[in-house]
Structures are given as C-alpha cells and as structure tokens.
Amino acid sequence: MHMHQHYIQRCLDLAIQGLGNVAPNPLVGSVIVHDDKIIGEGYHQQFGKAHAEVNAIQSVNNRDLLKESTLYVNLEPCSHFGKTPPCADLILQNKIPRVVIGSYDPNPKVAGKGIQKLREAGVEVVTEILITESDFLNRRFIAAHTKHRPYIILKFAQSADGFMALTEPKQFWFTNEVSKKLMHKWRTEEEGILVGRNTVAVDDCELTARLWPGKNPVRIVIDRKLSLPADRKIFSATAKTFVFNEVENKTDASTDFIQIDFSKNVLEKVMKHLQANEIQSIIIEGGPDTLQHFISQNLWDEARIFTTPHQLKAGKPSPTISGFVIEEAEIETDKLKIIINSTI
C-alpha cells in the first residue's frame, strides 16, 4: 500500500471510534509521522472536545520533531472558531511542514478554506488520499451539509419467502438474538430512530439501545391524530421523543409534540425539523407502509436488510429495494445485506 494511503487508513481506523459521540461534528482521526514512524495520533472523541489534530499533536513527546513531520488527517482541518479553535492555526503554530488529507470538508464554514490557509502559509498539502473511503466514513456529516437532511438508513427484517409482517396486526420477532444486539448497537451509532404510529400501537416498542452500551437515539414517531395511548413505552423518560402530528405543539416531560401540515410533503417537513435540531442520521424501523413512503420518494441513503429462515406463506410483503450492495454477512441463522442508494 502507498505510504500516504497506509497512514490515512490509520486515521480512518482511529476516527470510527468516535461514532455515536461526536455528531453533529464529523468523524476524524489524525496521525503524525516522522521518518516513517508514527510519533503521535488521536481522534475526535466527543462533541465539544478537542479535535483529532489537537489530540495527535498533544500526544507527541518531543514537540521539536513536529517541524520535520507530516500530519495525516482524513478530513480537511477546520479554519474557523467553533466549540474549539481552528486546527489549521494549530498546525501553523507548531510549524508542521506537510499535511496529507483524505477528503474535503463540505461545511461552508470550512469548504477548502482550511487547505487554502495552510498552503498560503507555505505548508505542503496533499489531498484526496483514500477520498472515497474518507467520504463514506463521514457520509452522515456530508449528507447534512449537501442534502440538508439527515442520512437515512432503512432497516427491516423479512421472512425467507419475502414477508415482513403478519397479515393481522400482531407482534412477530423475525431475527435471532445476535442480530437483535447488533441492531441495538446500530441505535447507539445514529442520532434518531423513526417509526410510524402502527408500529408503536402493535409492538409497544421502547426504541432504546438497552442491549448495547451507549446513548439512546432520539425516538421519532409520526402520529397524525395523536391517537397513541400515553402509556406506550416510547413516551418513557429513558430517551427524548418527537411526535409529529397535525393537532398541537407542546412539550410534555421528555416528549416534544410537533405540529405539521399533513396535506403534502410530510416526510420533507419531518426531515427539515430534524435537520434544524442537528440530527444527522436516522434509522427507519417502521413497518412496510412507513418504509414504502421513504422508498417511493427515493428518500433513503442506506438499507440494512435481514433475511431470516422463517416461512410465513402469507402476510405483508417486504418492500422492494435496489442499489449497490456493499456488504453481505451471515449472523447465525440470519443473512444481512447492506445496500447503498446508487441513484442519489
């Protein structure tokens, strides 16, 4: 592997450790190399705390070596004051002569300004190393700044004969326990989880990550008439809940009731509100109807589909979805397929 690719890959390996903790900031890792040896490394660990470049520089024992080193980072260094000072300024203060970057920052506050600032100060800057991998890692962050909505992940399980739910409204668990834990892990990695009213009414789902250590996502339910009983688990204090409806705006304990116009563009209005609340990614765990609304409007980025050995012979068919398959795996008796929407 090319030297630059090797070190940017290390940045990516570090950066992914911040997943679920840094949003709405991007996932960033950084390594500092002197004479083909890593002398410092770090990653952005938590929103509001030090960025990757800061942690990498601070980890170097002999700071004099920075003047002869190369800093690698998977995303363009920031050039603006936010929760922390600009990383581009820190690089210049430490007289680091070379910077190698994976991909560009789409945030308008940066968007090339970090690279420009470094180059104007005489720093040698190399860009677009493992750019595809770097962009994919920060697909949530990029979606927020380019599509102006959360990154949308469709998740569902289906029987071997293509059904997603029983004909009658009754709870039926398709996947095995290992797959279930994996889904709870995914919940800790995303900002929100969305279902329709019927899913809450039938399953009385809690929509938390109780089977995996980490934070709970914001729970999102579309309940047009506010007909769900107040004793549903989704209204518990274990996590924040948004209820989109056409009746009223109010806040009740940990639940925000958000009134929107249901006459048209409902999902667009929901996404706009989530974007305004800096929710960069959501998992759609609703039933076939909810999923189909997103699919019909081509409003999805990624799909995670479990196929189980169950044979239902009748029921509600799974939605039809196509795209670029990026992963296939067997999880005990379940088969997982992850698809990327290749049309947007």
Beta strands in 189-323, from DSSP E residues, in sequence order: 192-196, 218-222, 241-245, 250-252, 255-259, 281-284, 302-307, 316-317
CA dihedral of residues 230, 233, 236, 242 (deg, nearest 10):
-80
The yes-or-no answer on residue 246 being catalytic is: no
CA dihedral of residues 273, 278, 280, 284 (deg, nearest 10):
-40
Using DSSP, state whether 32 is helix, strand or coil: strand
Given the residues 41, 53, 76, 191, select the one marked as catalytic.
53
**H/E element holding 250?**
strand 250-252
Q: Residue 197: what are its φ and ψ, rounded to 5°?
A: -60, -40
- Looking at the DSSP bridge assignments, the partners of residue 152 are 282
The span from the CA of 276 to the CA of 266, in Å, is 16
Structure tokens at 332: 């005990």
- Catalytic residue annotation: 53
